[in-house]
């Protein structure tokens, strides 16, 4: 049984007065504890799909089933309860916070908003969350502008798992990190997936990263699915023009500097 | 190969909230004429600081020690002695001649503990370095040291930051050609059109009249490259010039830089945090870590036989299309 099923999703915007489809007839499924990656060139619709799945924007057509129910039909208290099961981590996820806000404050929010822990219980829960993502509990008192990019991304993941989600949408969540830090964050995500059976909708333009962590991949081109399948198989032998172009453009660790082009 | 640029014991520290932040801790290296040198290292390792020092674009208040010496052929059109760091008082600049037809200029700064403020920048830049030339143009550029633009082309990560939003593309490129090549406006515009063709922008005539916001990120970066090479500089510096654009466009820009450098015989300093990207372009690779040069070698040697543990760590952390997936390493599967 699928955890998330997206069917015939469409979203149109206007460009220069003319409507165009940013997302056009998109369907895919994600199972529990599975990672599905979305890849594609800039503007192909990856972030728009993420926002639709999170219901940050409403589709023009299509259906989204999440945890066995019609997600788009939910509203009010029912929507709020279900939303706790669906979290997100973006490229600079703490950018929306006042940089003086403390790490504790950032983690306190979801615990309070979703009634997960009483006021007295929260400091202990915050410490546990920090430990879960490999951070020292003393970090709770620090302002978010005082911690490194890698630490910020761990805090964002801690915030996302605070509500015990079954699915996390990650939009370019590791793209701005140094390779060594990126590797550690990817390991953390895989560990959480194994331990807590969390599924990921993993958006990245980097096929190397996708190949390392995703089970399946959907390659997008101008709002439509160009191809999809097992991540390793698709990347090893892409069939679509855009899939081939993405693979060809991925920098390889071999010296090719002598050829003229 | 002859040496274009000789950097000796370069020490640079910024001042932030009254505290000194060391950015480079005694870096020495030579850049050879006509080579493609990549500088890699993680965030904060000092890559941009090194590039900005070479271009004379350091933030005001940066403390600098060591020397940056240039060996430029006399044909470079230099009239005044060249010193890379603007506004160093003549008594501090150490200038000498070397070799036939060559002009050697060495800037010797901050002997002993006596560091001096060397760059007359408006306002102090802070934190990361993806902002553009506009923010850091030395104010005395036009009069004293017209080096940047003429001898050095600089391409930043964010092309919007080096392009003026309210001036048409063509005028911005023509301005560089006019200033540094002494061209009339009509000739400078003709030159600008040729440059837009060279960087493969579709419909150069229309692009000349376009404003930056009408172009995509990749197109803007092509314009920034056209402006950087307008005066046929000896040295092109690209600081994370392809980091903000998608993989397909990145590959196109890298191919473009490689071709332009080959055609014009330019020397290239290519800065990137991506070791694989660096190897697609570079003859040699310099690895910076915490403000120190930990390894410098032929690109092939760096990939196949890295000497420093940190270089090996960077290579290991690279997730290539042939790497063993983390999923398998952990034995996890859905
Ligand atoms: N709010 C909006 N109004 C109008 N057009 C939009 C809006 N949001 C996105 N678009 C357009 O929809 C298309 C898809 O955008 P989207 O952000 O989903 O791309 P993406 O695949 O995430 O790209 P990137 O890799 O650059 O993040 C683009 O052409 C974009 O310009
Ligand atoms: N204008 C400045 N004022 C204060 N500190 C600065 C300034 N510019 C850079 N720094 C600091 O100097 C060090 C080196 O920075 P630099 O920008 O050279 O690194 P980098 O290797 O280019 O990093 P990145 O990959 O993030 O661009 C860092 O600690 C940085 O925070
Ligand atoms: Mg996006
Ligand atoms: Mg930098």
* pLDDT at position A190: 97
* pLDDT at position B85: 42
Is the backbone of residue B87 left (phi > 0), alpha (psi -120 to 50) or beta? left
Extents of the domains making up chain A: 1-85+166-253, 93-164
pLDDT band for A168, please (50, 70, 90 cuts): very high
| Residues B279, A182: C-beta atoms closer than 8 Å | no
Mean pLDDT of B222-242: 93
Q: Is A249 a residue whose pLDDT tops 80?
A: yes
| Chain A residue whose CA is closest to B325 | A212
Mean pLDDT of B23-43: 96
* pLDDT at position B334: 45
pLDDT greater at residue B77 or residue B116:
B77
Q: Is B70 a residue whose pLDDT tops 80?
A: yes
pLDDT band for B83, please (50, 70, 90 cuts): very low
* pLDDT at position A95: 81
The pick from B11, B17, B44, B292 for probing ligand 2's pocket by mutation, whose C-beta has the most ligand atoms within 8 angstroms, reads B44
Within-domain flag for B70: yes
Mean pLDDT of B11-24: 91
Within-domain flag for B144: yes
Boundaries of domain holding B15: 3-107+116-151+233-326
Mean pLDDT of chain A: 93
Q: Which ligand is in closest contact with the Cα of B286?
A: 2
In Å, how far is B305's CA from the nearest CA of chain A? 13
* pLDDT at position B313: 93
pLDDT band for B330, please (50, 70, 90 cuts): low
pLDDT band for A15, please (50, 70, 90 cuts): confident
* pLDDT at position B245: 82
Tell whether A216 is within 8 A of chain B (Cβ): no
The domain spanning residue B40 has which CATH number? 3.40.50.300
Q: Is B162 a residue whose pLDDT tops 90?
A: no
Strands A35-39 and A199-203 come out as parallel
The count of structural domains within chain B is 1
* pLDDT at position A97: 82
* pLDDT at position B107: 53
Euclidean distance between CA atoms B8 and B107, whole angstroms: 10
* pLDDT at position B40: 96
* pLDDT at position B246: 87
* pLDDT at position A44: 94
* pLDDT at position A112: 93
The CATH number corresponding to A1-85+166-253 among 3.40.50.720, 3.40.50.300, 1.10.520.20, 1.20.120.530 equals: 3.40.50.300
CA of B40 to the centre of ligand 4 (A): 10
Q: Is A237 a residue whose pLDDT tops 90?
A: yes
Who among B273, B319, B325 is closest to A232 (CB)? B325
Is the backbone of residue B280 left (phi > 0), alpha (psi -120 to 50) or beta? alpha
Task: Give yes or no for residue A17 CB within 6 A of ligand 1.
Answer: no
pLDDT band for A219, please (50, 70, 90 cuts): very high
Within-domain flag for B163: no
Mean pLDDT of chain B: 79
pLDDT greater at residue B274 or residue B137:
B274
| 3-state helix/strand/coil string of chain B | CCEEEEEEEEEEEEEECCEEEEEEEEEEEEEECCCEEEEECCCCCCHHHHHHHHHCCCCCCCEEEEEEEEEEEHHHCCCCCCCCCCCCCCCCEEEEECCCCEEEEEEEECCCCCCEECCCCCCCCCCCCCCCHHHHCCCCCCCCCCCECCCEEEECCCHHHHCCCCCCHHHHHHHHHHHHHCCCHHHHHHHHHHHHHHCCCCCHHHHHHCCHHHCCHHHHHHHHHHHHCCCCCCEEEEECCCCCCCHHHHHHHHHHHHHHHHHHCCEEEEECCCHHHHHCCCCEEEEEECCEEEEEEEHHHHHHCCCCHHHHHHHHHCCCCCCCCHHHHHCCCC
Among B58-62, B138-142, B230-234, which stretch is predicted with the lowest mean pLDDT? Answer: B138-142
Residues of chain B with pLDDT > 70, as a percent, come to 76
| Residues B321, A207: C-beta atoms closer than 8 Å | yes
* pLDDT at position B299: 95
Query: What pLDDT, in 10s, does the model give residues B280-325?
Result: 999 999 999 999 999 999 999 999 999 999 999 999 999 989 888 8
Mean pLDDT of B136-141: 37
Mean pLDDT of A226-231: 98
Task: Give yes or no for residue B41 CB within 6 A of ligand 2.
Answer: yes
pLDDT greater at residue B86 or residue A92:
A92
pTM score, whole prediction? 0.84
Nearest residue to B333 via CA among A209, A29, A5, A232:
A232
Query: What pLDDT, in 10s, does the model give residues A137-153?
Result: 999 999 998 888 889 99
* pLDDT at position A46: 95
């Amino acid at each position: 049984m699928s955890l998330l099923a997206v069917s015939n999703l469409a979203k149109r915007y206007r460009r220069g007065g003319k409507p165009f489809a940013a997302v056009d007839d998109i369907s895919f499924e994600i199972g529990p504890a599975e990672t599905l990656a979305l890849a594609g060139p800039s503007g192909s619709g990856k972030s728009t799909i993420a926002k639709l799945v999170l219901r940050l924007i409403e589709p023009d057509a299509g259906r989204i089933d999440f945890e066995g129910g019609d997600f788009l039909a939910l509203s009010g208290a029912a929507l709020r309860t279900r939303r706790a099961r669906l979290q997100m981590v973006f490229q600079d996820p703490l950018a929306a916070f006042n940089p003086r806000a403390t790490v504790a404050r950032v983690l306190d929010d979801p615990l309070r908003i979703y009634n997960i822990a009483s006021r007295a219980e929260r400091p202990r829960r915050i410490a546990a969350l920090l430990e879960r993502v490999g951070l020292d509990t003393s970090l709770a008192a620090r302002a978010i502008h005082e911690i490194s990019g890698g630490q910020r991304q761990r805090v964002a993941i801690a915030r996302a798992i605070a509500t015990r989600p079954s699915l996390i949408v990650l939009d370019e969540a590791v793209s701005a990190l140094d390779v060594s830090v990126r590797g550690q964050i990817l390991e953390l995500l895989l560990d959480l997936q194994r331990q807590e059976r969390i599924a990921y909708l993993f958006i990245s333009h980097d096929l190397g990263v996708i190949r390392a962590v995703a089970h399946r991949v959907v390659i997008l081109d101008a709002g439509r699915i160009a191809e999809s399948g097992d991540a390793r198989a698709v990347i090893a032998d892409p069939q679509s023009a855009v899939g081939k172009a993405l693979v060809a453009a991925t920098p390889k660790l071999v010296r090719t500097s002598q050829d003229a082009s | 190969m002859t040496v274009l640029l000789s950097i000796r014991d370069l020490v640079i520290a910024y001042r932030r909230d009254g505290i000194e932040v060391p950015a480079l801790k005694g870096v020495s290296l030579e850049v050879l004429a006509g080579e493609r040198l990549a500088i890699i290292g993680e965030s904060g390792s000092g890559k941009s600081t090194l590039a900005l020092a070479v271009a004379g674009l350091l933030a005001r208040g940066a403390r600098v020690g060591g020397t940056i010496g240039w060996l430029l052929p006399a044909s470079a059109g230099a009239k005044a002695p060249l010193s890379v760091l603007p506004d160093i008082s003549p008594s501090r600049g150490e200038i000498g001649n070397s070799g036939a037809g060559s002009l050697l200029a060495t800037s010797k700064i901050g002997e002993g503990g006596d560091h001096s403020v060397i760059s007359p920048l408006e306002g102090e830049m802070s934190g990361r370095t993806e902002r553009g030339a506009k923010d850091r143009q030395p104010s005395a550029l036009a009069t004293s040291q017209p080096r940047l633009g003429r001898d050095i082309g600089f391409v930043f990560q964010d092309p919007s930051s080096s392009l003026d939003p309210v001036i048409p593309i063509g005028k911005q490129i023509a301005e560089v050609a006019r200033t540094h090549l002494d061209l009339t406006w009509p000739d400078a515009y003709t030159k600008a059109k040729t440059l837009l063709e060279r960087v493969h922008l579709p419909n150069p005539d229309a692009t000349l009249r376009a404003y930056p916001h009408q172009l995509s990120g990749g197109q803007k970066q092509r314009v920034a490259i056209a402006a950087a090479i307008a005066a046929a500089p000896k040295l092109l510096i690209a600081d994370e010039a392809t980091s903000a654009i998608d993989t397909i466009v990145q590959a196109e820009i890298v191919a473009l830089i490689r071709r332009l450098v080959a055609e014009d015989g330019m020397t290239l300093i290519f800065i990137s945090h991506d070791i694989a990207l660096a190897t697609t372009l570079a003859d040699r690779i310099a690895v910076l870590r915490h403000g120190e040069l930990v390894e410098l070698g032929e690109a092939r040697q760096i990939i196949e036989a890295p000497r420093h543990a940190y270089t090996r760590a960077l290579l290991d952390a690279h997730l290539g299309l042939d790497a063993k997936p983390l999923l398998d390493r952990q034995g996890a599967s859905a």
